[in-house]
Structure formats: structure tokens, C-alpha cells
Amino acid sequence: MESNKYFNLTPSIGGSFGFAWRKMFEKSFLPLLLAVIIVGILSGPSAGANWKMDGDGFDFPMLLLLPVVIFGLAYSFMFLPIIKYGENYLFLKAMRDEEADLKTLFEGFKTKYLNIVLAHLIVTALAIIGFVMLIIPGIIILCRLVFVPFLVMDKDLEPMKAVEKSWQMTKGHGWTVFFMAILSFFIAIAGLIVFFVGILISITWIHAAFASLYQAVLNEDDDNNPIPILGVNEA
């Protein structure tokens, strides 16, 4: 029996967060929490630097910071996505009652590196185009492509196939994804109120909930809704 049939889970906001809350405390809470901390620390170098200009153009401090900015951009597209895709896969494994090994965070570097980088670039580009088109299309694209990291890691799909499949899988679930994102914001705020430990638990719960939603949709997937924005027509 395949791992995605280990449990009966239907796609819903309450079902996803409820299932995630139970699962994350069963046996994998510590590795999941550590994964959140590690990814949080590794996300630091992508912050970049502030640019400063005077009346004569770029000033000396900016010239010094330019290599840092370039490094931050390269880090954001060539390293960090691999870690974050691995984090998503780690949470999915935990929701499936599989071993949640922290080595999963770096699994993408072995065989999926190029697929992850390209998938991240495609999703980012589509989202930017969508936000340029009066924001709402960008939100829709992000909601419909939320499963791309899982599909690249879990199903070993190539970038375009992962984009198409995520669009197909989220048909009828776009509002669920959107309201889960809204709820996640308030969960994160509630975590901040109780300081460091609270926000870590909140982020862990949010990641687990989206992994649970992916699994729930995967359980009922019918594979007959190609992504229209790419003009793909399947027989």
C-alpha cells in the first residue's frame, strides 16, 4: 500500500490543522521543531542589504555592500529553495508517520537540485507576473501552485509537470488554501504574543497543516485538470 493511503484525510481547513496538530505531537515534534529552527537560521543570509544613494549616485558604502546583495540574491535562488523544499518533504513524511530525519532537509542537493531551482524560478516568475496584473492574479497563482514543492520532492516531477499538477490538484481547493494562509497569519501572530517558543510552534503547526492538505488532496486526486495558463491540453 502506498504511503499516501496510510490514513483517511479529506481536504478542509479544520481537518488539515486538526490532523497536523495531532500528528506533530505523536513522535516527530522535536525533529520538526529543529527543522523550523534550522531553516529559520539558514534564511538569514537571503535578507540582503540596504542600498544607499546620494546626489552623485552610488556612495562608497553601497559599493562595499553590492557583493553582499549579489550573494544574498544567489543564496535566495540557488541554495535556500533546496532547504525549504526539503523542509516541506520532511513535514510530509511526518504526517505520513514515516521517519522524520533532519537529513531530509538536504536531500534535494543529491538528485533534485536543478528541478528545485527551476521550479522555484518558475513559481516566482508566475507570481510576479500575477502581482503586476493588479495583485489578485498573483494571489491566485500562489494558492494554486502551493503544492509544487511537495510534488517535486514527493513525486520527483520535473518543474513544469509539478506546476501543471499543482494547478490541477488545487482545482476546487483554492479557497481552502487561501483561507488556510489567512488563518496561518493569525496563528503566527498568536505565536508571537507568547514570544520565541510560541512562534516556533506556530510555524511548525502551519507547515504540518499544509503538508496534511497536500496529502488529503492527493488522496482524492483525479488527474484531469491541466493548468490553463500554460496552454496545456491533454487528451
> Coil, strand, or helix at residue 57?
strand
**Is 4 inside a domain boundary?**
no
Give the model's pLDDT for residue 2: 45
Q: What is the extent of the structural domain holding 172?
A: 10-226
Give the model's pLDDT for residue 25: 92
Give the model's pLDDT for residue 46: 62
**Is 233 inside a domain boundary?**
no
**Is 1 inside a domain boundary?**
no
Question: β-pairing, 53-54 with 57-58?
Answer: antiparallel
**Is 232 inside a domain boundary?**
no
- The single residue listed with the C-alpha cell 540557488 is 78
Q: Residues near 156 by Cβ (< 8 Å), separated by ≥ 6?
A: 112, 115
Residue 131 and residue 224: Cα distance in Å, rounded?
A: 27
Number of independent structural domains in the chain: 1
**pLDDT tens digits, the chain, 235 residues: what are they?**
344 445 567 899 999 999 999 999 988 999 999 999 999 999 876 655 444 444 444 444 556 677 777 887 888 899 999 999 999 999 999 999 999 999 999 999 998 999 999 999 999 999 999 999 888 999 999 999 999 999 999 999 999 999 999 999 999 999 999 999 999 999 999 999 987 789 999 999 999 999 999 999 998 874 444 444 444 433 3
C-alpha cell at 217: 488532496
Give the model's pLDDT for residue 47: 55
- The single residue listed with the C-alpha cell 479544520 is 14
- Our CA angle for 54, 56, 57, nearest 5°, is 70
**Is 27 inside a domain boundary?**
yes
Instruction: Please say whether the beta carbons of 168 and 143 come within 8 A.
Output: no
Give the model's pLDDT for residue 63: 62
Backbone phi and psi for residue 150, each to the nearest 5 degrees, phi listed first: -65, -40
**Is 114 inside a domain boundary?**
yes
**Is 231 inside a domain boundary?**
no
- Our CA angle for 17, 21, 27, nearest 5°, is 145
